[in-house]
Structure 1
Amino acid sequence: MESTSLLLLFITSLFFVASHGLSEIDSLLKFKESLVTGRASALESWDRKNPPCKWIGVVCQKGYVWGIRLENIKLSGSLNIDALVGLKSLRSLSFMNNNLRGPFPEIKKLGALKSIYLSNNQYDIEIPKDVFDGMGWLKKIHLEHNKFSGAIPVSIAKLPKLYELRLDGNRFTGQIPEFTHELHSLNLSNNALEGPIPNVLSTMDQKLFEGNNGLCGKPLDTECQSPHKISSEHKASSNKKSSKFLYIIAAVVAAALAILIILGLIIVLCRRRRNKQPLLSPEPGPSSLQRRAGIHESESHSQNRIAKKMIHTTKLSFLRDDKGKFELQDLLKASAEILGSGCFGASYKTVLSNGSVMVVKRFKHMNNAGFEEFQEHMTRLGKLKHENLLPVVAYYYKKEEKLFVSDFVEKGSLAAHLHGHKSLENPGLDWPTRLNIVKGVARGLLYLHNNLPSLMAPHGHLKSSNVLLNEKFEPLMTDYGLIPMINEESAQELMVAYKSPEYLKQSRVTKKTDVYGLGVLILEILTGKLPESFSNPDKENEEDMANWVRSIFKGEWTQELFDQEMGRTNNCEAEILKLLRIGLSCCEVDVEKRLDVREVVEKLEDLTKEREGDDDFYSTYASEADGRSSRGVSCEGINIS
Structure 2
Amino acid sequence: MAKDTKFLLLFLLLSSSSSLCFGSEQDIQCPRSVQQSVIDPLGVLKSSWNFGYATDGYICSFTGVQCWQGSENMVLSLLLDNLGLEGPFPQGLQNCTSLNILDLLYNNFSAPIPFSIAQQISYVTSLNLSYNNFSGEIPESMENLAYLNTFNLQHNQLRGQILERFSVLGRLTSFNVADNLLSGPIPTFPQDFSPLYFAGNQDLCGAPLDECPRSQRWTLRRINGESSVGAAVGFVLGFVVAFYFHLYCCERLLPYVFHT
Q: Give the TM-score of the pair, scaled to structure 1.
A: 0.30
Identify if the C-alpha distance between structure 1 residues 55 and 189 changes in structure 2 by more than 3 Å, giving closer, same or farther.
same
Match of 1:180 among 186, 190, 196: 190
Q: Deviations over 1:548-591 (max 9, x none)?
A: xxxxxxxxxxxxxxxxxxxxxxxxxxxxxxxxxxxxxxxxxxxx
Q: Is the helix fraction higher in 1 or 2?
A: 2
Confirm or deny that 1:60 pairs with 2:28. Answer: no
Which residue of the partner structure matches residue 152 of structure 1?
Answer: 162
Confirm or deny that 1:120 pairs with 2:124. Answer: no
Contact 1:152–1:176, Cα closer than 8 Å, also in 2: yes
Amino acid at match of 1:177: P
Equivalent-residue separation in structure 1 for 2:216 and 2:32 (angstroms)? 55
Equivalent-residue separation in structure 2 for 1:96 and 1:66 (angstroms)? 17
Equivalent-residue separation in structure 1 for 2:111 and 2:131 (angstroms)? 14
Contact 1:69–1:93, Cα closer than 8 Å, also in 2: yes
Identify if the C-alpha distance between structure 1 residues 184 and 225 changes in structure 2 by more than 3 Å, giving closer, same or farther.
closer
Equivalent-residue separation in structure 2 for 1:72 and 1:195 (angstroms)? 31
Identify if the C-alpha distance between structure 1 residues 177 and 31 changes in structure 2 by more than 3 Å, giving closer, same or farther.
same
Which residue of the partner structure matches residue 9 of structure 2?
Answer: 5
Match of 2:50 among 47, 51, 57: 47
- Secondary structure, aligned partner of 1:131: helix
- Secondary structure, aligned partner of 1:43: helix
Contact 2:154–2:176, Cα closer than 8 Å, also in 1: yes
5 Å-filtered alignment, 1:148-547, equals 148-183=158-193, 187-197=197-207, 201=208, 209=209, 215-216=210-211
CA shift, 1:155, in A, is: 3.9
Which residue of the partner structure matches residue 113 of structure 2?
Answer: 104
Contact 2:44–2:83, Cα closer than 8 Å, also in 1: no
Equivalent-residue separation in structure 2 for 1:161 and 1:70 (angstroms)? 24
Please, which runs of 5 or more residues in structure 1 have no aligned partner?
202-208, 210-214, 232-641
Match of 1:78 among 57, 72, 88: 88
Which of structures 1 and 2 has the bigger CA Rg? 1
CA shift, 1:170, in A, is: 0.8
CA shift, 1:62, in A, is: 2.2
CA shift, 1:156, in A, is: 2.7
- Please say which of residues 184-193 and 86-95 is displaced more in the overlay: 184-193
5 Å-filtered alignment, 1:544-623, equals none
- Secondary structure, aligned partner of 2:67: strand
Q: Percent identity?
A: 24
Confirm or deny that 1:91 pairs with 2:100. Answer: yes
Amino acid at match of 1:153: L
- Secondary structure, aligned partner of 2:11: helix
Identify if the C-alpha distance between structure 1 residues 36 and 223 changes in structure 2 by more than 3 Å, giving closer, same or farther.
same
CA shift, 1:185, in A, is: 8.6
Identify if the C-alpha distance between structure 1 residues 30 and 196 changes in structure 2 by more than 3 Å, giving closer, same or farther.
closer
Equivalent-residue separation in structure 1 for 2:13 and 2:44 (angstroms)? 40
Amino acid at match of 2:203: L
Equivalent-residue separation in structure 1 for 2:177 and 2:15 (angstroms)? 50
Equivalent-residue separation in structure 1 for 2:24 and 2:69 (angstroms)? 13
Q: Which has the higher contact order (CA 8 A, sep 6+)?
A: 2
CA shift, 1:113, in A, is: 0.3
Equivalent-residue separation in structure 2 for 1:194 and 1:116 (angstroms)? 22
- Secondary structure, aligned partner of 2:143: coil
The alignment covers a number of residue pairs equal to: 206
Contact 1:27–1:84, Cα closer than 8 Å, also in 2: yes
Confirm or deny that 1:141 pairs with 2:151. Answer: yes
Identify if the C-alpha distance between structure 1 residues 137 and 74 changes in structure 2 by more than 3 Å, giving closer, same or farther.
same
Equivalent-residue separation in structure 1 for 2:169 and 2:133 (angstroms)? 25
CA shift, 1:178, in A, is: 1.9
- Secondary structure, aligned partner of 2:141: coil
Identify if the C-alpha distance between structure 1 residues 24 and 170 changes in structure 2 by more than 3 Å, giving closer, same or farther.
same
Identify if the C-alpha distance between structure 1 residues 182 and 79 changes in structure 2 by more than 3 Å, giving closer, same or farther.
same
Equivalent-residue separation in structure 1 for 2:199 and 2:126 (angstroms)? 21
Equivalent-residue separation in structure 2 for 1:168 and 1:7 (angstroms)? 56
Q: What's the C-alpha RMSD, in Å, of the aligned pairs? A: 2.9
Equivalent-residue separation in structure 2 for 1:164 and 1:195 (angstroms)? 18
Identify if the C-alpha distance between structure 1 residues 226 and 85 changes in structure 2 by more than 3 Å, giving closer, same or farther.
closer
Equivalent-residue separation in structure 2 for 1:111 and 1:145 (angstroms)? 24
Equivalent-residue separation in structure 1 for 2:198 and 2:98 (angstroms)? 31
Contact 1:127–1:148, Cα closer than 8 Å, also in 2: yes
Equivalent-residue separation in structure 1 for 2:66 and 2:25 (angstroms)? 17
